[in-house]
Amino acid sequence: MQFTILNFDTIDSTNTEALRQAKLGADEGLCIVARQQTAGRGRHGRVWSSPKDAGLYFSIVLRPQIETRSLPLITLMAGVAVHETLAEIGLRPDIKWVNDVLVNERKISGILAETTDSAKGLAVIVGIGINLTLANFPAEISDTATSVESELGHTIAAADLTDALTRNIAKFYDVLNAERGPREIVLEWQNRSSYFSGKHVRVVLEHEAVTGVTDGLGSNGALRLKLADGTLMTIQTGDVQQIRASQ
């Protein structure tokens, strides 16, 4: 994949800009990086706090040729690429379904995948936020989040992390696009996530919450959950929370 990186000092949201560029026909591999976002977005309409130089704020335009049913695996592929990138700098990350990357059980990175139609066909925008430092973050975030600086004792230049991230996205996107790619990405994800199976969790769905034990992923990345009565539930979208023994 050929990368073109557009750097911004301040932007509303790198995902919003990548969506705009994709609609205008941007090629696969266009990356938007900003030092600060004024309207950073998280999953489920949440705000992604984006103070200046406190995080890597990155979005990439992809134009996948895979089967429609495998599109959710792009999010898992991105989680694997972030995991690999953070492992390379000496961290021991974990991935919480579907795409929260944690270190020491605190969130260090989030991924927001969005799609748009364009004259060139479907584009998928993968937005990635990685916390570099917790300085300037609101207190309620620093309670549940962590950062490269908090974990390593020093921060890493955003440009270096961008290089490593694009290299790993290219690597695992190639894996996804290869024969048996969907299965390989699920395996890569499985090897990097303590949430894959046997984890006691509560999953917040759109209108209810369910508890159970994780029981692997479906072939398109859906989470399988074994409920107390033994039935197996397949979850396509939801927020997973770990249940600790004392809860």
User: Using the rule CB under 6 A, is 29 a contact of ligand BTN?
Assistant: no
Helices 73-88 and 181-192 cross at an angle (nearest 10°) of 50
Of 204, 227, 184, 206, give the one whose Cα is nearest residue 96: 204
Q: How far is the CB of 217 from ligand BTN (least distance, A)?
A: 19
Q: How far is the CB of 70 from ligand BTN (least distance, A)?
A: 21
Binding span for ligand BTN by CB under 6 A among 53-61, 136-144, 151-159, 185-193: 53-61
User: Using the rule CB under 6 A, is 175 a contact of ligand BTN?
Assistant: no
Nearest-5° Cα angle at 197, 195 to 201: 55
Per the CB < 8 A criterion, the answer to whether 96 and 102 are in contact is: yes
Question: In this complex, which beta carbon is closest to ligand BTN, that of residue 112 or of residue 240?
Answer: 112
The single residue among 29, 54, 58, 101 that binds ligand BTN, judged by CB under 6 A, is 58
The single residue among 21, 49, 59, 168 that binds ligand BTN, judged by CB under 6 A, is 59
The two structure tokens encoding residue 141: 């975030």
Any idea how long the chain is? Answer: 247
The two structure tokens encoding residue 181: 């790619």
Pattern 72-101, ligand BTN, x by CB under 6 A: ----------------------------x-
Cβ of 49: how many Cβ atoms within 10 Å?
Answer: 18
DSSP 47-66: B----TTTEEEEEEEE---S
Pattern 30-49, ligand BTN, x by CB under 6 A: -------x--xxxx--x-x-
The single residue among 129, 181, 182, 212 that binds ligand BTN, judged by CB under 6 A, is 129
Q: How far is the CB of 179 from ligand BTN (least distance, A)?
A: 31
The single residue among 13, 131, 147, 193 that binds ligand BTN, judged by CB under 6 A, is 13
Q: How far is the CB of 12 from ligand BTN (least distance, A)?
A: 8
What single-letter DSSP state applies at residue 244?
P
Question: In this complex, which beta carbon is closest to ligand BTN, that of residue 26 or of residue 112?
Answer: 112
User: Using the rule CB under 6 A, is 110 a contact of ligand BTN?
Assistant: yes
- Three-class SS state of 2: coil
Cβ of 159: how many Cβ atoms within 10 Å?
Answer: 11
The single residue among 19, 31, 112, 223 that binds ligand BTN, judged by CB under 6 A, is 112
Rounded Cα distance between 165 and 16, Å, is 20
DSSP 122-154: EEEEEEEEEES--TTS-HHHHTTB--HHHHHSS
Which parts of this chain interact with ligand BTN (CB under 6 A)? Answer: 13-15, 37, 40-43, 46, 48, 57-59, 100, 110-112, 127-129
